[in-house]
Structure 1
């Protein structure tokens, strides 16, 4: 009879995952922030969003993306309210609002220190919502583990790129690709360190 191993199982590191939709020419929004080109019928299963949402307990926002979400909420856009069961961190360099929504905390500390501290806490994976500036800052700090990019079969010509421009070379390893019936393609990459 074999003795049971007394080795403890090391908890899995919480991953910071960018999940975003881009146009076929690589933009997350038009230059004015509009995402009207995303208004399209969603296929059954919603591109796996429900499953992904169950795998996270934290969302990271840049200030511009947060402000856009607040605007959607004020306009009554369905599904735009902040989920109080999820911890929402908003990175900002500007003045802090006096009355943020429940479940929202503002962050002004350096990205690397914040990400290191957050990953040490027990929990599920972390969704990097965006936008381009905060994604670029986390990528430059070596604090993004994966990208799940839903490429929408539409060119918009110009706009806000997925990642704020800078001189960088970040190798990626393809984990998977998936084609949906409406022509959307999900590219899932690991960031190679």
Structure 2
């Protein structure tokens, strides 16, 4: 098996939400600073495969009109529907565990998961996420769509790094400890 890792790379509010109930993400704008990408470009230089859930994919399409990651890498949209592939986008509706094991067996760089919560829960249920990079945005939404939905097995993780930024964003980087 190769050394490829599946890394969850997401932002959440201080109280643990990915989005508001109506999928509003405008609160993410509060940490935007010219010339600051919070390490995203450097991180993406070590990634060649992108995984995202269908709802998150639809939100990206609604916001920017296309999936920017598809311009640079192979992308998998996890869905229940059978859809024809597009350029560098595969709509995947089979067992996600099989997909991850297959991708990890292939040579290449790391694999990024960008959400959403349903896909994250599926991946966590099978202990498939190797690392977690979570950017905590300094806002309390009070309600919305939780990052971690619960109902997954307990997992031991260790902090690799934490970085705080002038904007108030705190980025946490954890690794899942191997199960004995």
Aligned to 2:45: 54
| Residue 43 of structure 1: how far off its partner (Å) | 5.7
Instruction: Give the counterpart of 1:31 among 21, 28, 35.
Output: 21
Give TM-score scaled by structure 2 length: 0.91
Aligned to 1:181: 166
Q: Secondary structure at the match of 1:39?
A: helix
Aligned to 1:120: 105
**RMSD after superposition:** 1.8
Supply the distance in 2 between the matched residues of 1:43 and 1:12 (Cα, whole angstroms): 37
| Matched length | 177
Aligned to 1:5: none
Q: How does 1:94-133 map to 2 (within 5 A)?
A: 95-98=81-84, 100-133=85-118
Structure 2: tracts of 5 or more residues without a match:
none
Contact 2:121 2:152 in 1 (8 A): no
Aligned to 1:90: 77
Supply the distance in 1 between the matched residues of 2:16 and 2:58 (Cα, whole angstroms): 22
Distance 1:143 1:180, change over 3 A: same
Contact 2:79 2:91 in 1 (8 A): yes
Distance 1:57 1:154, change over 3 A: same
Give TM-score scaled by structure 1 length: 0.85
Distance 1:101 1:167, change over 3 A: closer
Write out the 4+ residue segments of structure 1 that deviate beyond 6 Å after TM superposition: none
Contact 1:131 1:163 in 2 (8 A): no
Contact 2:47 2:110 in 1 (8 A): yes
Contact 2:16 2:146 in 1 (8 A): yes
